Amino acid sequence: MSRHIGPWAAAALFAVVFFWVLHQVGETDAHVERMQTINTQMRELDARIDRAAADLCRSEIGPGAQVLWTREGDLVCRPAVLTAGSAQ
Q: Could you give the number of structural domains in the chain?
A: 1
Whether residue 69 lies inside any domain: the answer is yes
User: What share of the chain in percent tops pLDDT 70?
Assistant: 82
Strands 75-78 and 66-69 come out as antiparallel
Whether residue 16 lies inside any domain: the answer is yes
Give residue 51's identity as a one-letter amino acid code.
R
Whether residue 64 lies inside any domain: the answer is yes
Whether residue 43 lies inside any domain: the answer is yes
Tell if the pTM clears 0.75, that is, is over it.
no
Can you give the pLDDT at residue 30?
77
Per the structure, the complete domain to which residue 64 belongs is given by 2-78
Question: CA–CA separation, 22 vs 26, rounded Å?
Answer: 6
How distant, in Å, are the alpha carbons of 16, 37, 38, 51 from that of 43?
A: 41, 10, 9, 12
